[in-house]
Amino acid sequence: MAKILWSAVKEEIHQGYNLRKSLFPKISKHFENRYVVSFYTRFDSRIGINDYDAEMLNTLLGGSNKAKKAKLLLMINSPGGDPLAAEKIIKVLSEFSGNDYWVIVPGVAKSAATMICLGASRIILSPISELGPIDLQVDRGGSSLASTYSIITAYDKLMEKGINLGQDRRIEPILQQLQEFRASEIEYFRRVNNLSSDIAEKVLKRGMLKDSTIEEIKELIKIFIDPEKSKVHGRPIYYSDLKEVDGKGSFSLQLVDMTSSVWRDLTEYHTRATTHFQVSKTGKILESEENSFSASGD
């Protein structure tokens, strides 16, 4: 009996999978009995969304008879990662769902996670759910990720300042700052950020904006692809922001009432998942009511 009690208490402390899996059927009932998959990555980890996640997702869905017979709903909470990995995840979700997966953001889905949302046929948000610009974020050796748009901008401003420096001004301080950058890396960041825009346009044209022209799509997603619109990379893009730029209602959006039973069940799962990150070394979890995969955050 003591051993059983200790196991139960330990499970509560770590907010393990056994305490989360019962919430999947509850959440599913709120959304047309779709097969619910959760993809969470912790925000203080150096491992963002990467190629391995698409493989894990393919394994999770491929091993489920339920997933093969139902439409999909993805719960996502992540600061982002590799845009190419996001494109692969969109491909897996689209293949298993017949190009009709929904995505819900209980908390925050930034950068590559926002791209995964754009690939969905419906985006479900609360008034405080956060999306963000889709430029690449990279590990710069700290505890958080840095926006490549900010890095490129800083580099370009230093170069411009050096080129336009008057003859009576010392260039050494600028050269010293430029030593922090690598030209090849900056060029790579430019290419990847252009790629992010191309991916967003492609998945939207194939999905929820299939009836819009490319020109219309480019205009609609300026809020995601032009960081000058949000001023800083980390600034949230809310449901209200999307409705403001989308006067014709082209985006397929659904707002969740924060006083509803839907939000209560989503919040319970979100709280348990994020608490699990706080008390463990787990860096990401990908799970459903049938299986759970995780990866270390080290």
Query: Is pLDDT above 60 for 230?
Result: no
pLDDT for position 45: 66
Q: Pick the range with the lowest mean pLDDT from 28-42, 146-160, 250-264.
A: 146-160
Quick one: pLDDT at residue 69? 81
More confident position, 57 or 178: 57
pLDDT in tens, 146-202: 777 778 888 988 888 888 887 777 888 888 888 888 888 898 888 877 888 899 999
Determine the pLDDT at residue 10.
55
Q: What is the mean pLDDT of the chain?
A: 87
Rounded distance, CA 242 to CA 250, Å? 10
Maximum mean pLDDT: which of 71-75, 149-153, 166-170, 222-226 = 71-75
CATH superfamily for domain 19-138+199-296: 2-enoyl-CoA Hydratase; Chain A, domain 1 (3.90.226.10)
* Cα–Cα distance for residue pair 222/230, rounded to 1 Å: 10
Alpha carbon distance 190, 184 (integer Å): 10
* pLDDT over threshold 50, residue 216: yes
What pLDDT score does 140 carry? 64
Q: Is the pLDDT at 143 greater than 80, yes or no?
A: no
> What residue ranges do the domains of the chain occupy?
19-138+199-296
**Radius of gyration, CA atoms only, the chain:** 21
How far apart are the C-alpha atoms of 145 and 108, rounded to whole Å? 15
pLDDT digits (tens, 9 = 90+) for 86-135: 999 999 999 999 999 999 999 999 989 999 999 999 999 999 999 998 87
Q: Which pLDDT value is given to residue 106?
A: 97
How is residue 107 written in tokens? 């908390």
Question: Distance between CA 60 and CA 58 in Å, rounded?
Answer: 6
Please give the average per-residue pLDDT across 44-68, as a whole number: 89
Flag whether pLDDT at 137 surpasses 80. Answer: no
pTM: 0.83
CA angle 80, 86, 88 (to 5 degrees): 160
Using CA atoms, how far apart are residues 237 and 232, in angstroms rounded to an integer?
11
CA distance 239 to 251: 11
Where does the pLDDT of residue 145 fall: very low under 50, low under 70, confident under 90, or very high at 90 and above?
low
Looking at residues 215-222, what average pLDDT do you find?
Answer: 91
Nearest C-alpha neighbor of 251 from the set 131, 123, 127 = 123
Q: Region 62-73: what's the mean pLDDT? A: 91
Asked if residue 1 has pLDDT above 50, the reply is: no
Return the pLDDT at 95.
Answer: 93
Mean pLDDT of 133-139: 74
